Amino acid sequence: MPLIRTAGALFALILWLPNVSWAADESPSTNSVAPLHIAIGQTLQPEEINRMAEVEGLVTFVGKQGRTTYFEISSEAGFMSVTVAHSAGYLTDLLLGSRIRVRGVCTAAYSSVNAKIVSNLSATNLNDITILQLPGESWQRYPLLTLNELGQTNSSVNIVHLRGKVQSVLPGSSFLLVDETGQKSVESRQAASEMAGMEIEALCGWHLRGTNRIFQCGAWRAFTTTNQVSLPTLTSAEQILWLTPQEARQAYPVKLQGVITFIRSDHKGGNIQDESGGIFLWHLNLATN
Protein backbone atom coordinates (compact mmCIF):
# COMPACT_ATOMS: atom_id res chain seq x y z
CA MET A 1 0.00 0.00 0.00
CA PRO A 2 2.78 2.56 0.72
CA LEU A 3 4.13 1.85 -2.77
CA ILE A 4 0.73 2.53 -4.31
CA ARG A 5 0.35 5.83 -2.43
CA THR A 6 3.83 6.91 -3.53
CA ALA A 7 3.19 6.03 -7.14
CA GLY A 8 -0.10 7.91 -7.00
CA ALA A 9 1.64 10.99 -5.62
CA LEU A 10 4.30 10.84 -8.34
CA PHE A 11 1.64 10.47 -11.01
CA ALA A 12 -0.28 13.49 -9.69
CA LEU A 13 2.95 15.50 -9.59
CA ILE A 14 3.75 14.68 -13.21
CA LEU A 15 0.29 15.86 -14.28
CA TRP A 16 0.48 19.08 -12.25
CA LEU A 17 3.97 20.23 -13.23
CA PRO A 18 3.21 20.88 -16.91
CA ASN A 19 0.34 23.10 -15.86
CA VAL A 20 2.63 25.13 -13.62
CA SER A 21 5.14 25.51 -16.44
CA TRP A 22 2.41 26.60 -18.89
CA ALA A 23 1.01 29.14 -16.45
CA ALA A 24 4.45 30.62 -15.93
CA ASP A 25 4.86 31.04 -19.68
CA GLU A 26 1.57 32.95 -19.85
CA SER A 27 1.88 34.86 -16.59
CA PRO A 28 2.92 38.29 -17.98
CA SER A 29 -0.57 39.62 -18.65
CA THR A 30 -1.14 42.52 -21.00
CA ASN A 31 -1.56 44.79 -17.95
CA SER A 32 1.88 43.90 -16.56
CA VAL A 33 3.91 45.11 -19.56
CA ALA A 34 4.42 48.66 -20.73
CA PRO A 35 1.77 49.55 -23.32
CA LEU A 36 2.66 50.38 -26.89
CA HIS A 37 2.13 53.97 -27.92
CA ILE A 38 0.48 53.87 -31.31
CA ALA A 39 -0.96 56.48 -33.62
CA ILE A 40 -4.27 56.39 -35.42
CA GLY A 41 -3.77 54.97 -38.92
CA GLN A 42 -0.39 53.46 -38.03
CA THR A 43 0.39 50.17 -39.76
CA LEU A 44 0.08 47.35 -37.24
CA GLN A 45 2.95 44.85 -37.19
CA PRO A 46 2.23 41.14 -36.54
CA GLU A 47 4.03 41.22 -33.18
CA GLU A 48 1.85 44.14 -32.05
CA ILE A 49 -1.45 42.28 -32.44
CA ASN A 50 -3.06 41.46 -29.08
CA ARG A 51 -0.62 43.77 -27.26
CA MET A 52 -1.73 46.39 -24.77
CA ALA A 53 -1.52 49.86 -26.33
CA GLU A 54 -2.40 53.50 -25.68
CA VAL A 55 -3.64 55.97 -28.26
CA GLU A 56 -4.87 59.56 -28.21
CA GLY A 57 -7.46 61.17 -30.41
CA LEU A 58 -10.66 63.20 -30.74
CA VAL A 59 -13.92 61.33 -30.18
CA THR A 60 -16.13 61.84 -33.23
CA PHE A 61 -18.78 59.15 -32.70
CA VAL A 62 -20.26 57.38 -29.67
CA GLY A 63 -22.74 54.50 -29.57
CA LYS A 64 -23.94 51.98 -27.03
CA GLN A 65 -25.48 48.52 -27.20
CA GLY A 66 -26.32 46.79 -23.95
CA ARG A 67 -23.29 47.07 -21.67
CA THR A 68 -20.89 47.68 -24.55
CA THR A 69 -19.83 51.19 -25.52
CA TYR A 70 -18.45 51.81 -29.00
CA PHE A 71 -16.77 54.99 -30.15
CA GLU A 72 -14.42 56.29 -32.82
CA ILE A 73 -11.40 58.51 -32.27
CA SER A 74 -10.00 60.54 -35.13
CA SER A 75 -6.92 62.41 -36.25
CA GLU A 76 -5.67 63.76 -39.56
CA ALA A 77 -4.48 60.23 -40.36
CA GLY A 78 -7.93 58.65 -40.11
CA PHE A 79 -9.99 57.07 -37.36
CA MET A 80 -9.83 54.14 -34.97
CA SER A 81 -12.67 52.07 -33.55
CA VAL A 82 -12.69 51.45 -29.80
CA THR A 83 -14.94 48.98 -28.00
CA VAL A 84 -15.38 49.15 -24.21
CA ALA A 85 -16.69 45.74 -23.12
CA HIS A 86 -18.12 46.67 -19.73
CA SER A 87 -19.41 50.15 -20.58
CA ALA A 88 -17.77 53.55 -20.30
CA GLY A 89 -20.30 54.39 -17.58
CA TYR A 90 -21.01 58.06 -16.96
CA LEU A 91 -18.06 58.98 -19.20
CA THR A 92 -20.19 58.02 -22.21
CA ASP A 93 -22.02 61.36 -21.89
CA LEU A 94 -18.72 63.28 -21.89
CA LEU A 95 -16.88 61.53 -24.71
CA LEU A 96 -18.26 63.13 -27.87
CA GLY A 97 -16.04 66.01 -28.94
CA SER A 98 -13.46 65.31 -26.21
CA ARG A 99 -9.79 64.60 -26.69
CA ILE A 100 -8.96 61.39 -24.83
CA ARG A 101 -6.30 58.81 -24.13
CA VAL A 102 -7.51 55.22 -24.15
CA ARG A 103 -5.76 51.98 -23.26
CA GLY A 104 -6.74 48.59 -24.64
CA VAL A 105 -5.72 45.51 -26.57
CA CYS A 106 -4.80 45.95 -30.25
CA THR A 107 -6.91 44.04 -32.73
CA ALA A 108 -6.10 43.98 -36.43
CA ALA A 109 -8.38 45.65 -38.96
CA TYR A 110 -8.05 46.11 -42.71
CA SER A 111 -8.15 49.72 -43.87
CA SER A 112 -9.96 50.15 -47.18
CA VAL A 113 -8.53 53.68 -47.40
CA ASN A 114 -4.87 52.74 -47.81
CA ALA A 115 -4.99 48.91 -47.85
CA LYS A 116 -3.00 48.66 -44.62
CA ILE A 117 -3.51 46.53 -41.52
CA VAL A 118 -4.30 49.05 -38.81
CA SER A 119 -5.40 48.74 -35.22
CA ASN A 120 -8.74 48.79 -33.49
CA LEU A 121 -8.74 48.85 -29.71
CA SER A 122 -10.59 46.69 -27.20
CA ALA A 123 -10.82 48.27 -23.72
CA THR A 124 -12.33 46.84 -20.55
CA ASN A 125 -14.13 49.64 -18.70
CA LEU A 126 -14.09 53.37 -17.95
CA ASN A 127 -10.80 53.03 -16.03
CA ASP A 128 -9.10 52.59 -19.42
CA ILE A 129 -10.20 56.06 -20.56
CA THR A 130 -8.66 59.40 -19.59
CA ILE A 131 -10.27 62.62 -20.78
CA LEU A 132 -7.51 65.06 -21.73
CA GLN A 133 -9.67 67.96 -22.88
CA LEU A 134 -13.39 68.63 -22.89
CA PRO A 135 -15.15 70.93 -25.36
CA GLY A 136 -16.41 74.15 -23.77
CA GLU A 137 -20.06 73.19 -24.25
CA SER A 138 -19.61 70.18 -21.95
CA TRP A 139 -18.84 72.51 -19.04
CA GLN A 140 -21.87 74.63 -19.93
CA ARG A 141 -24.23 71.65 -20.21
CA TYR A 142 -24.21 70.86 -16.48
CA PRO A 143 -25.21 73.60 -13.99
CA LEU A 144 -22.97 74.19 -11.00
CA LEU A 145 -23.99 72.58 -7.72
CA THR A 146 -22.81 73.39 -4.23
CA LEU A 147 -21.53 70.44 -2.22
CA ASN A 148 -24.49 70.45 0.16
CA GLU A 149 -26.81 69.96 -2.84
CA LEU A 150 -25.23 66.64 -3.79
CA GLY A 151 -27.42 64.69 -1.39
CA GLN A 152 -30.45 66.01 -3.27
CA THR A 153 -29.18 64.85 -6.67
CA ASN A 154 -31.80 62.93 -8.58
CA SER A 155 -30.87 59.34 -9.40
CA SER A 156 -31.45 60.06 -13.11
CA VAL A 157 -28.65 62.67 -13.07
CA ASN A 158 -25.44 60.89 -14.09
CA ILE A 159 -23.04 63.84 -13.98
CA VAL A 160 -22.67 66.75 -11.57
CA HIS A 161 -20.68 69.98 -12.03
CA LEU A 162 -18.76 71.04 -8.92
CA ARG A 163 -16.47 73.90 -8.03
CA GLY A 164 -14.32 74.38 -4.95
CA LYS A 165 -10.85 74.40 -3.45
CA VAL A 166 -8.77 71.24 -3.23
CA GLN A 167 -7.85 70.87 0.43
CA SER A 168 -5.85 67.65 0.23
CA VAL A 169 -4.82 65.03 -2.33
CA LEU A 170 -4.14 61.32 -2.32
CA PRO A 171 -2.21 61.10 -5.63
CA GLY A 172 -3.70 58.70 -8.16
CA SER A 173 -6.66 58.00 -5.89
CA SER A 174 -8.75 60.96 -4.66
CA PHE A 175 -8.88 64.58 -3.56
CA LEU A 176 -10.90 66.49 -0.97
CA LEU A 177 -12.97 69.32 -2.46
CA VAL A 178 -14.23 72.12 -0.21
CA ASP A 179 -16.66 74.99 -0.84
CA GLU A 180 -18.59 77.35 1.43
CA THR A 181 -21.27 74.70 2.05
CA GLY A 182 -19.22 71.62 2.90
CA GLN A 183 -16.61 69.16 1.71
CA LYS A 184 -16.59 65.99 -0.39
CA SER A 185 -14.00 63.33 -1.20
CA VAL A 186 -13.83 62.74 -4.95
CA GLU A 187 -12.21 59.66 -6.45
CA SER A 188 -9.84 60.40 -9.33
CA ARG A 189 -6.98 58.57 -11.04
CA GLN A 190 -5.88 62.02 -12.22
CA ALA A 191 -5.45 63.29 -8.66
CA ALA A 192 -1.98 64.90 -8.37
CA SER A 193 -0.18 66.56 -5.48
CA GLU A 194 0.04 69.89 -7.35
CA MET A 195 -3.76 70.17 -7.16
CA ALA A 196 -3.59 70.95 -3.42
CA GLY A 197 -4.72 74.51 -2.76
CA MET A 198 -6.07 75.01 -6.28
CA GLU A 199 -9.59 76.23 -7.00
CA ILE A 200 -10.99 73.88 -9.60
CA GLU A 201 -14.19 72.86 -11.30
CA ALA A 202 -14.92 69.20 -12.02
CA LEU A 203 -17.45 67.09 -13.87
CA CYS A 204 -18.13 63.98 -11.79
CA GLY A 205 -20.14 60.82 -12.09
CA TRP A 206 -21.56 59.14 -9.04
CA HIS A 207 -22.86 55.78 -7.84
CA LEU A 208 -24.05 54.20 -4.62
CA ARG A 209 -21.68 52.07 -2.56
CA GLY A 210 -23.95 50.69 0.09
CA THR A 211 -25.81 53.77 1.28
CA ASN A 212 -22.98 56.19 0.44
CA ARG A 213 -22.75 58.27 -2.71
CA ILE A 214 -19.33 57.87 -4.29
CA PHE A 215 -18.20 60.60 -6.68
CA GLN A 216 -15.68 60.00 -9.46
CA CYS A 217 -14.00 62.82 -11.35
CA GLY A 218 -14.30 62.49 -15.11
CA ALA A 219 -12.50 65.75 -15.89
CA TRP A 220 -11.27 68.79 -13.98
CA ARG A 221 -9.67 72.13 -14.76
CA ALA A 222 -8.29 75.02 -12.78
CA PHE A 223 -11.00 77.62 -12.27
CA THR A 224 -10.11 81.06 -13.58
CA THR A 225 -12.20 84.02 -14.66
CA THR A 226 -11.46 83.09 -18.28
CA ASN A 227 -13.25 79.76 -17.69
CA GLN A 228 -16.45 81.47 -16.74
CA VAL A 229 -19.09 80.96 -19.38
CA SER A 230 -20.39 83.97 -21.26
CA LEU A 231 -24.05 83.45 -20.49
CA PRO A 232 -26.71 84.49 -23.01
CA THR A 233 -28.98 87.42 -22.17
CA LEU A 234 -32.52 86.31 -21.35
CA THR A 235 -35.10 88.41 -23.18
CA SER A 236 -38.45 86.89 -22.17
CA ALA A 237 -40.27 86.05 -18.95
CA GLU A 238 -40.72 82.48 -20.18
CA GLN A 239 -36.96 81.95 -20.44
CA ILE A 240 -36.55 83.07 -16.82
CA LEU A 241 -39.39 80.87 -15.59
CA TRP A 242 -37.79 77.80 -17.16
CA LEU A 243 -34.52 78.23 -15.24
CA THR A 244 -33.79 75.65 -12.58
CA PRO A 245 -32.61 76.97 -9.17
CA GLN A 246 -29.07 75.83 -10.04
CA GLU A 247 -29.16 77.66 -13.38
CA ALA A 248 -30.60 80.79 -11.79
CA ARG A 249 -27.61 80.95 -9.42
CA GLN A 250 -25.32 81.42 -12.42
CA ALA A 251 -26.66 85.00 -12.67
CA TYR A 252 -27.87 85.20 -16.26
CA PRO A 253 -28.13 88.76 -17.58
CA VAL A 254 -31.76 89.77 -18.23
CA LYS A 255 -33.19 92.43 -20.52
CA LEU A 256 -36.97 92.49 -20.76
CA GLN A 257 -39.37 94.71 -22.62
CA GLY A 258 -42.93 94.62 -21.33
CA VAL A 259 -45.67 96.21 -19.27
CA ILE A 260 -45.13 96.89 -15.57
CA THR A 261 -48.22 95.65 -13.77
CA PHE A 262 -47.15 96.17 -10.16
CA ILE A 263 -44.46 98.11 -8.24
CA ARG A 264 -43.68 97.62 -4.57
CA SER A 265 -44.28 100.61 -2.34
CA ASP A 266 -40.55 100.84 -1.62
CA HIS A 267 -39.82 100.68 -5.37
CA LYS A 268 -37.40 97.78 -4.85
CA GLY A 269 -39.15 95.43 -7.23
CA GLY A 270 -42.22 94.78 -9.26
CA ASN A 271 -44.05 92.63 -11.78
CA ILE A 272 -43.42 92.87 -15.49
CA GLN A 273 -45.54 91.24 -18.17
CA ASP A 274 -44.50 90.42 -21.73
CA GLU A 275 -46.15 88.29 -24.40
CA SER A 276 -44.69 85.08 -22.91
CA GLY A 277 -45.81 85.60 -19.31
CA GLY A 278 -45.24 87.58 -16.14
CA ILE A 279 -42.44 87.62 -13.60
CA PHE A 280 -41.44 89.48 -10.44
CA LEU A 281 -38.10 91.30 -10.59
CA TRP A 282 -36.10 92.61 -7.66
CA HIS A 283 -34.15 95.86 -8.07
CA LEU A 284 -36.31 96.88 -10.99
CA ASN A 285 -34.58 99.62 -13.00
CA LEU A 286 -37.02 101.65 -15.05
CA ALA A 287 -35.95 103.14 -18.35
CA THR A 288 -37.49 106.52 -19.06
CA ASN A 289 -37.55 106.17 -22.83
Output the pLDDT for position 44. 82
SS3 20: helix
Position 218 confidence tier, pLDDT thresholds 50, 70, 90 = very high
Domain 136-227: which CATH class? mainly beta
Output the pLDDT for position 26. 32
Output the pLDDT for position 59. 95
Q: What is the pLDDT of residues 59-83, one digit of tens each?
A: 999 998 888 999 999 988 888 999 9
Q: What residue segments make up the domains of the chain, in order of their start?
A: 30-133, 136-227, 237-282
Residue type, 82: V
Q: Is the pLDDT of residue 152 over 80?
A: no
DSSP annotation of 146 reads -
Predicted TM-score (pTM) of this structure:
0.64
CA distance 188 to 221: 13
Task: List strand residue ranges (DSSP E) for 31-98, in order.
Answer: 36-37, 52-65, 68-75, 78-84
- For domain 30-133, the CATH architecture is Beta Barrel (2.40)
Output the pLDDT for position 13. 33
User: Which H or E run contains 95?
Assistant: helix 92-95
Give Cα separations from 273 to 57, 83, 244, 245, 287 (angstroms): 50, 53, 20, 21, 15
- Say yes or no: do domains 30-133 and 136-227 share a fold: yes
Average pLDDT of the residues in 266-271: 76
Q: What is the pLDDT of residues 159-177, one digit of tens each?
A: 999 999 999 999 999 999 9
* C-alpha dihedral, 95 to 100 to 105 to 111, nearest 10°: 80
